[in-house]
Amino acid sequence: MSLLSLKDFILKQKRRSDFKITDYYELRGVCNEDRDNVEAFIKEAIQKIQNEDIEKSHFLKEFCEEFSAGDYMILRSDECKEYWEQKRLSEQYKTSKRSTEEEADKRRSKRLKTKLIFPSERDEILNGFLESVGTTIKRQAHEIYMGKCYSKLDQSSKDIISNGFNSILDLTDNKNQKLPFTVAQWTKLKELWQKKKNWRSLETEISDELKHIEKLADGDIKEAYKTSLAKQIQYAFTPNEAYFKVYSTILSSLNLRKSIYSFSAKNQNTEEDYVIKVWAPIISAVFDDLPLFCKWGDSISNHSTEAKKTADPSSSTVGDKVDCRICTKGSDGKIMDLINIEFANTTQDWKYHVDHRKILRESKVMADIFYESPFLKPRYKRNIKVHSIQIAGVEGQVVNVGLADNGIYVASKLGSLRLPTSGLEMRKARTLLQRLFDLKRDAKYLVNCYASLSHEKSTAVNNMDLKQNSERSPYDEESIEELLKSRSSDKYCNW
């Protein structure tokens, strides 16, 4: 830094109110560890300007007098304190991230050099296994990818590579990632990590009213539809309205376009037919409920783009396009994805595999927002589960992705979503609602976690302890046992 550069910067300001010392810090690219030296330099520079140039410029005279007032109180202003604290946190994060990336790069470089030397991953080696699960699935992915052109591989090979390099064990697939494990090992992994979900029941009063509509639909869809509309009006603008809005939508479709619900008619309908005429009204009725909202139409999450740029930092890199995203907004105004949904009109091979890989990657991206944050307590992280939905025609599957051990994610099937094909099967709509509302509750848990995370992140640079130049107390401390149980995430790979 030089005296001239500081003086020139001051003279560029048209008014004293335009001057921000933090802008000068940014111009010089200072680091947090340089703070003492930077402030000493600025004081010395101001004194030299006063001694050498004060008579040449009335503006400089007034500026220097105001700047040096109170023993350079401006350098201790709230704005400066917040700037240096943000610098400290940012540099701490970059150092930690760089260390993690260097470790990952070392592991990757070893994989590319030879097939004979392969690093072990960080997850625990289970009883009955010769190596950790993370090591096994990455070894399998590496062996298939080695010397191949990814775009020319078949869908099964792409599944193994995408999931393996992203440290995702996909327990919903009983053929691809299952291959390197014995039957006993695969069974043990399912027993250990594929837990059956107990779907929470609907409220008794609502359930009874829905059952009444189902009985009417057995013989008279029109009467059932009229009853459902009446209930929808009765519960207008209340949380219970959504149940009957969904029933009315399904009953109306069964009357007007019954063929769309038939498997035999699948190929006659496009993906957009199923989205617009069937699924969108149902999903919106349940999830368009603040603080949740639906974002439709091949949109891209900023978090997805940021994750992809860790592997390819070029400006043209963008994240995966997703058909529907269930989102929320943080206190900072940023959109956070909670559930991703992909649609197709059939279970056509290539489309099924592409969508499945995508929702698993995107679920990992969403989960890592929570797992990697230093502002969310470990006890909350342990309950983080990110759901995604893959739909083909009138049926869908709910898949859950969570961190099972250090660096190893597990994808498991929670259940199916099925629509009735006639008035006789309207009970399926009740099961559908039960599961969608349960997913909604889980999404709201993530909303609360994200709100807590955002709040703690904000208070880290804006709290009373900073005013006192002292360490901020943890207030709500984690026990040693809770800290030891916390798991570390693994790097995202763009496949």
Residues 19, 124: one domain?
A: no
Residues 313, 457: one domain?
A: yes
* Structural domain count of the chain: 3
Q: What is the pLDDT of residues 143-178, one digit of tens each?
A: 998 888 888 899 999 999 999 999 999 999 888 999
Domain boundary among 193, 216, 236: 193
Task: With respect to residue 70, please indicate whether it lies within any of the assigned structural domains.
Answer: yes
The SS3 call for residue 418 is strand
Residues 347, 403: one domain?
A: yes
Domain boundary among 140, 158, 193: 193
Across the range 240-252, mean pLDDT stands at 96
Of the candidates 120, 195, 144, 175, the one whose C-alpha atom is nearest the C-alpha of residue 411 is 195
Residue span of the structural domain in which 435 resides = 256-485
Is the pLDDT assigned to residue 196 strictly greater than 50?
A: yes
Residues 350, 283: one domain?
A: yes
Please give the single-letter amino acid code of residue 366.
M
Domain boundary among 54, 81, 108: 81
What is the rounded average pLDDT for all residues in the chain?
84
Q: What's the confidence (pLDDT) of residue 24?
A: 76
Q: What's the confidence (pLDDT) of residue 321?
A: 92
Spatial separation of the C-alpha atoms in residues 444 and 478, rounded to whole Å: 23
In the block, residue with structure tokens 């039957």: 183
- Dihedral angle of Cα 453, 455, 459, 462, to the nearest 10 degrees: 130
**CB contact at 8 A, 211 and 204:** no
How many helices (H) does the chain have, and how many strands (E)?
Answer: 19, 7
Residues 472, 327: one domain?
A: yes
Task: With respect to residue 9, please indicate whether it lies within any of the assigned structural domains.
Answer: yes
Peptide bond into 180 cis (omega under 30): no
Across the range 204-230, mean pLDDT stands at 96
Q: What's the confidence (pLDDT) of residue 493?
A: 58
Residues 335, 453: one domain?
A: yes
Task: With respect to residue 349, please indicate whether it lies within any of the assigned structural domains.
Answer: yes
The 10 Å Cβ neighbour count of residue 195 is 12
Q: What's the confidence (pLDDT) of residue 5?
A: 63
Residues 55, 128: one domain?
A: no
Of the candidates 7, 114, 117, 111, the one whose C-alpha atom is nearest the C-alpha of residue 67 is 7
Task: With respect to residue 241, please indicate whether it lies within any of the assigned structural domains.
Answer: no
In the block, residue with structure tokens 């603008």: 237
Residues 286, 170: one domain?
A: no
pTM for the model: 0.72
Residues 412, 459: one domain?
A: yes
Task: With respect to residue 250, please indicate whether it lies within any of the assigned structural domains.
Answer: no
Collect all residues with Cβ–Cβ distance below 8 Å to 211 and sequence separation of at least 6.
427, 430
Peptide bond into 281 cis (omega under 30): no
Q: What is the pLDDT of residues 394-419, one digit of tens each?
A: 999 999 999 999 889 999 999 999 99
Of the candidates 180, 183, 137, the one whose C-alpha atom is nearest the C-alpha of residue 160 is 137
Q: What is the pLDDT of residues 47-79, one digit of tens each?
A: 877 777 655 567 777 778 777 787 888 888 888
What are the φ and ψ backbone dihedral angles of 62, each rounded to 5 degrees?
-65, -40
Task: With respect to residue 102, please indicate whether it lies within any of the assigned structural domains.
Answer: no
The listed range with the strongest mean pLDDT (250-264, 314-328, 419-433) is 419-433
Residues 283, 423: one domain?
A: yes
Strand partners, 324: 296, 341
Q: Pick the residue with more confidence: 339 or 149?
A: 339
Task: With respect to residue 213, please indicate whether it lies within any of the assigned structural domains.
Answer: no
Task: With respect to residue 222, please indicate whether it lies within any of the assigned structural domains.
Answer: no
Is the pLDDT assigned to residue 265 strictly greater than 60?
A: no
Residues 329, 380: one domain?
A: yes
Residues 465, 323: one domain?
A: yes
